[in-house]
Amino acid sequence: MSEHQVLAHVDEYLKIGMEYDCSDIHLPTAYPPAWRRFGTLAPIWDDHPPLTAEDTERLAYSFLSEKEKKRLDEVGDVDFAYANEFGRFRASVVKQRLGLEIVFRIISTTIRTMAECGLPEEHLIPLTRYQNGLLLVTGSVGSGKSTSLASLIHFINHDREDHILTLEDPIEYIFESAGCHVNQREVHSHTESFARALRGALREDPDVIMVGEMRNLETIQLALTAAETGHLVLGTLHTGNAPRTLDRVLDVFPTDQRDQIRIMVSESLRGIISQQLVPTIDGTGRALALELLVNTPAVAATIRDGKTFMLPGIMQTGKNVGMVTMDESLRNLYAAGKISQEETLFRCEDKAQMRAYFQS
């Protein structure tokens, strides 16, 4: 046995994770305690033995409530927001072949401003000032969507005098009402689903609605309806770029409804922010690569005609409203010496074009 004993409570691991600026802590069966720092997953201690099924069960029971234990036993997995005296976390406990797997996402308690996140304020602020419409933040898991969304809501909260309603699973950042009155509802705790919460939301007279995740037909349909009927809706999707986001929104609808939905989306869309967090060359952090699509008459026409493949071309000519493609954003980071050639090539859309750029 190495000198490392298994710690008594998950909080002790979380404290270490926060001290070392990690995004996630993993406590898996048959693997040592691990952390994700700057995008890379690795054991916290090199010589720590793998956790046993008994270890992970004991750790899980050190922080699960009776309700969560019951759900874990019945369903096999449980997700919820967990808070202790030094932080907030998104916790996930799942049963797997060898035992339990516990994963925490560390939620920063301070909401970062758009400038601190590296978001293009001058082009995003106009999008937050609409009285209605749809603004989407997209990207894969761990690409910083929640952080960007929180900074947009934080800005609206201080910029407007309205009613903001957030629907989240679980609640991550806590918003104190500033210029706006903010209500936060958690799926599973305060309501059974995003769709049910959205249906209820329209009766609560909100001006701005944040939908944590638009994951199915009903939620997307309700979000579009809300955006059309005088609400500014901010939502997230797990898609990599603007054309794919639009395809994903349209593809959930039955074929016979798509023409009508394309018209709805072309009229209500305000913009799409797609993002990736790319490990930096010096290994001390991650750089934000950001694609921005702003709905202009040309973009709306393209959506209406179902020709989303033409969007990258339109985005290249829309610099004056802040439009930028993911590949341009990656190229800019590479040119600034922030990210490596390998990462740039690995993450770009058009590999052939990027290779030609490197060779020129």
Tell whether 25 and 157 lie within a shared domain. no
Of the residues 48, 79, 107, the one at which a domain ends: 107
Tell whether 16 and 146 lie within a shared domain. no
DSSP string, 304-320: HTT-GGGHHHHHHT-GG
pLDDT value of residue 141: 85
CA atoms within 13 A on the CB side of 201: 37
Residue numbers of the domain that contains 238 = 114-359
Instruction: Count structural domains, the chain.
Output: 2
What span, in angstroms and rounded, lies between the C-alpha atoms of 200 and 118? 34
Tell whether 78 and 148 lie within a shared domain. no
Strands ordered across the beta sheet of 286-294 = 181-186, 163-168, 208-211, 232-237, 133-138, 269-279, 286-294
pLDDT value of residue 3: 53
Closest CA to 134 of 29, 241, 209, 54: 209
Structure tokens at 302: 């393209």
Question: Buried (b) or exposed (e) across 260-284, using 16+ Cβ within 10 A?
Answer: ebbebbbbbbbbbbbbbbbbbeeee
pLDDT (tens place) for every residue of the chain, 360 residues total: 345 788 889 999 999 999 998 999 999 999 999 999 988 899 999 999 999 999 999 999 999 999 999 999 999 999 888 999 988 899 999 999 999 999 999 988 789 999 999 999 999 999 999 999 999 999 998 899 999 999 999 999 999 999 999 999 888 899 999 999 999 998 888 888 889 999 998 899 999 999 988 989 999 999 999 999 999 999 999 999 999 999 999 999 999 999 999 999 999 999 999 999 999 999 888 999 999 999 999 999 999 999 999 999 999 999 999 999 999 999 999 999 999 999 999 999 999 999 999 998
CATH number at residue 46: 3.30.450.90
pLDDT value of residue 81: 87
CATH number at residue 303: 3.40.50.300
Tell whether 128 and 239 lie within a shared domain. yes
pLDDT value of residue 172: 84
Tell whether 50 and 197 lie within a shared domain. no
**Does the model's pTM come out above 0.85?**
yes
Q: What stretch of H or E contains 227?
A: helix 217-228
For the chain, give me the number of helices (H) and strands (E)?
Answer: 15, 13
How far CA 329 is from CA of 112, 160, 224, in Å, comes to 21, 30, 29
pLDDT value of residue 8: 85
Of the residues 83, 107, 131, the one at which a domain ends: 107
pLDDT tens sequence across 269-295 = 999 999 999 999 998 889 999 999 999
What span, in angstroms and rounded, lies between the C-alpha atoms of 334 and 102? 36
Number of C-beta neighbours around residue 257 at 10 A: 14
What span, in angstroms and rounded, lies between the C-alpha atoms of 323 and 293? 5
Tell me the residue type at 134. L
Asked if 161 and 255 touch (Cβ cutoff 8 Å), the reply is no
pLDDT tens sequence across 43-94 = 999 999 999 999 999 999 999 999 999 999 999 999 888 999 988 899 999 9
pLDDT value of residue 73: 93
pLDDT value of residue 301: 97
- Chain mean position to CA 82: 18
Flag whether 3 is in a domain.
Answer: no
Of the residues 60, 88, 107, the one at which a domain ends: 107
pLDDT value of residue 1: 35
3-class secondary-structure state, position 202: coil
pLDDT value of residue 169: 85
Tell whether 127 and 247 lie within a shared domain. yes
